[in-house]
Structure 1
Amino acid sequence: MKTSSISAVTRQAVDKCLRQNIPFALYAMPGSEQYTFLASSPTDEEFLNDHQSASGAFEISFFAHSNPYPIIILPSYNAADVLALPDSLKYPGADTYPAIQSTSAITYMAQVHELAKVARTLHGKVVLSRIISGSTHDKTPLEVAMTYFEGQCDTLRYMFFTQETGLWIGATPELLVSFRPQPASDDRGTISTMALAGTRPHSSDDNEDAWDDKNVAEQQFVIRHISSCLHDAGLDAAETQDYTLKLKNVEHICSMFTADGTLSQALKLREALDPTPAVGGYPTDAAIDLINFFETHERFCYAGTINIRDTDGIGFSTFVNLRSMLIAPENDGDYRSSSRYNIYVGGGITASSNPESEWSETAGKASLMLDALTCENEAANTPAITLYDQISIEAQEPSYSQSGTL
């Protein structure tokens, strides 16, 4: 079902799905205000398997392929179909639940301090994430989502629930891979991917400032990785010049790659790119080892992927799950009274990373989500780190050592 706004029927369907734990997705593609709603039953045999020909399906993968197969929401029901389901129907709740404790400023900055030393020695990059945990009252998840989505037309805006994932809300600017079939061809088409890294606050000035060396270096790690994966997939891609992608509250360095190729090449590229250096690091395997060592929270769907199949079943668009939050009810499964949330944000740590700057960058990324939850802005309410704290950072976290290359 597609509408130019969220209809009353769709709102009621989302509410019913949350009350009865029915898997569903609500999303709008970048550049569009048209929202699509779909829902399915977790008892469908198709839902429980890696279904290769699910036209119009919404597919979710955890970070670094930590789930063996995508979790698939089939377009079995539209909003009216959901409202026609019996109210007595209720499926088990989610297997995932938000963490109670946020990542503290001193912990995150200590981790940045240590990772910058590792990166300085081994010439790499690691994307370090953190969580902001809290509760929200008297505001439904759909109200949170629609507030968060305002002014973010350049992103994929999404809200989904399954038993395996729990409820997620996000607005990601990052395309991983898309495949658009050529007319009268099921096998060949246009393959697109994106290098997106570097972050700074959004500027209202039309005169675009040059990016600093740290952010440019981050982008080059991503471009290098994408170029290698394109070559390995046998694709000769055209690359745009770097440009500044201006979002509602932040800006990124962006460049696009396009190539003519086959569906199998597009799938090979998608597998090779996930996770990109923009959400994991570079080189990939060593960066993920460092993430597992330093991060004390589970990423779950954060920095994983969302794949949306075309209704013809051939084309697809895969995005990276960024700027997102995990939400769960606090009282008897009722989201309407009180919900606990984990906001996920992260940043790329390189040899030139400054702990306080990295903390501020992630606070900026979280600000729109906190605003949507009607919470105080963390950036404005977190005390500045004192000189004593900065001197003491090195003692806060265990040292990581590893032979080989980061």
Structure 2
Amino acid sequence: MIIASQRLQAVQEQDIANYPYVFYSQSFFDEVKDELWQDFGNEIVAFKHYFVQTPTEAYALSCESLPEIRDEKGSKLSHSYTEEASDYQEWQSLYQKLQENIARGKTIKIVASRQIKFTSEQTFKIEPVLERLIENNPAAFIFAYHKSGKTFLGASPEILVQKEGNHILSYALAGTFPRSLAQGDTRLLKDPKNLHEHQIVVQKIKNKMLEKSPQVQIGETGIMALKNVYHLRTLLSTIDTSNSLIDWAKHLHPTPALGGQPSKAALDFLRVNEKHERGLYAAPLGLIDAQGDGTLIVAIRSALFDGKTCYAYAGCGIVAASDCQAEFDETKIKLKTILEAL
């Protein structure tokens, strides 16, 4: 666990080695247009203070006098909230356009997403939300970024790219069954639609890696079990001494698990037909250390909090064999990650 506090300054990639850690974020699309996300986007940020906890030790790093750190247990506040009107009709319209796009041969997969607005009579408290995210999602990467009065947070199960020395790792994570389904993990491993969707992601990541490295290791496809869902997961790795972690993030993003395939055609479709701004949703973010190593996840199972309003996000990959209602239901299950933390 790493906590960074008190923003110091924005830095350039070549200056990362001057700081213990920097925070990196990249918006899903090249630019952010919606006012909701206006203060979030592509940046590398150094902070004044860092608290680091590993399985064996805990320590603080600071570029100036360290503020007092208090070990306080906050109350587990539960929020009362209201969901805005159902967006199912909007989803049906998007789904129909998407399937027409696939039928015309422009794409073979597109990842559609929903933005669901929740409101509360009281300001949402971030600390208990984070505490529940940590408790509920031990297999996920918990993240939170506070800026300009808003907090973007979530519990992502998916690594876009991890760099340790010259070792590069990426997750292909696509294909989903609910945990409530009897023998769901076994059935998911044999399900033709989900296996097809998953292999699209595996092959694209493999091909992108081969553009920067002559050899790619592909692990066995298995199950990643989360609180509410099972996912198909395949680990891909390679050796590279020439490119930075940020180079790799820009090269791989977005994989077909987040955008679609072919990538350009899928993104062009989403720009026109998805009504909400993705911002940092499903985009790379994470911490990079002074050696240039780190883990950049994709910010899924996430929400943006702004005072008394929470904008939660969920998506799913759609192929020709998909079903409109089933995919909508899948996004509802994925939304539980945030809702169960409220």
Q: TM-score, normalised by structure 1?
A: 0.69
Deviation at 1:297, TM superposition (A): 0.9
Which residue number in structure 2 is paired with residue 305 of structure 1?
Answer: 284
Deviation at 1:174, TM superposition (A): 0.7
Output aligned runs, 1:300-379, within 5 Å: 300-310=279-289, 312-329=290-307, 339-373=308-342
Deviation at 1:314, TM superposition (A): 2.4
> What is the aligned counterpart of 1:248 among 227, 250, 259?
227
1:112–1:353 CA contact under 8 A, matched in 2: no
> What is the aligned counterpart of 2:216 among 234, 237, 248?
237
Output aligned runs, 1:76-87, within 5 Å: 76-78=48-50, 83=67
**1:47 equivalent in alignment to 2:31:** no
Structure 2 CA distance for partners of 1:161 and 1:109, relative to 1, 3 Å: same
Deviation at 1:240, TM superposition (A): 0.7
Output aligned runs, 1:275-290, within 5 Å: 275-290=254-269
Output aligned runs, 1:213-224, within 5 Å: 213-224=192-203
Structure 2 CA distance for partners of 1:103 and 1:115, relative to 1, 3 Å: farther
2: CA distance between counterparts of 1:141 and 1:291?
30
**1:294 equivalent in alignment to 2:273:** yes
Q: Which runs of 5+ in 2 are unaligned?
A: 33-39, 52-59, 70-82
Counterpart of 1:223 in 2: which secondary structure? Answer: helix
Deviation at 1:276, TM superposition (A): 0.8
Q: Percent identity?
A: 24
Deviation at 1:156, TM superposition (A): 0.6
2: CA distance between counterparts of 1:207 and 1:354?
20
1:101–1:133 CA contact under 8 A, matched in 2: yes
Q: TM-score, normalised by structure 2?
A: 0.81
Which residue number in structure 2 is paired with residue 94 of structure 1?
Answer: none
**1:145 equivalent in alignment to 2:130:** yes
Structure 2 CA distance for partners of 1:207 and 1:361, relative to 1, 3 Å: closer
2:302–2:313 CA contact under 8 A, matched in 1: yes
Deviation at 1:82, TM superposition (A): 7.5
Cα RMSD of the aligned pairs, angstroms, is 2.6
Post-superposition CA distance 1:63-112 (Å, at most 9, x none): 13326973233231247967569xxxxxxxxxxxxxx9666111112211
Deviation at 1:127, TM superposition (A): 0.8
Question: What is the one-letter code of the residue matched to 1:55?
Answer: P
Post-superposition CA distance 1:278-320 (Å, at most 9, x none): 111111111111111111111111011113113x432121111
Query: In proportion to residue count, which structure has more strand?
Result: 2
Which residue number in structure 2 is paired with residue 61 of structure 1?
Answer: 26
1: CA distance between counterparts of 2:198 and 2:185?
21
2: CA distance between counterparts of 1:232 and 1:320?
21
2: CA distance between counterparts of 1:142 and 1:230?
38
Structure 2 CA distance for partners of 1:233 and 1:370, relative to 1, 3 Å: same
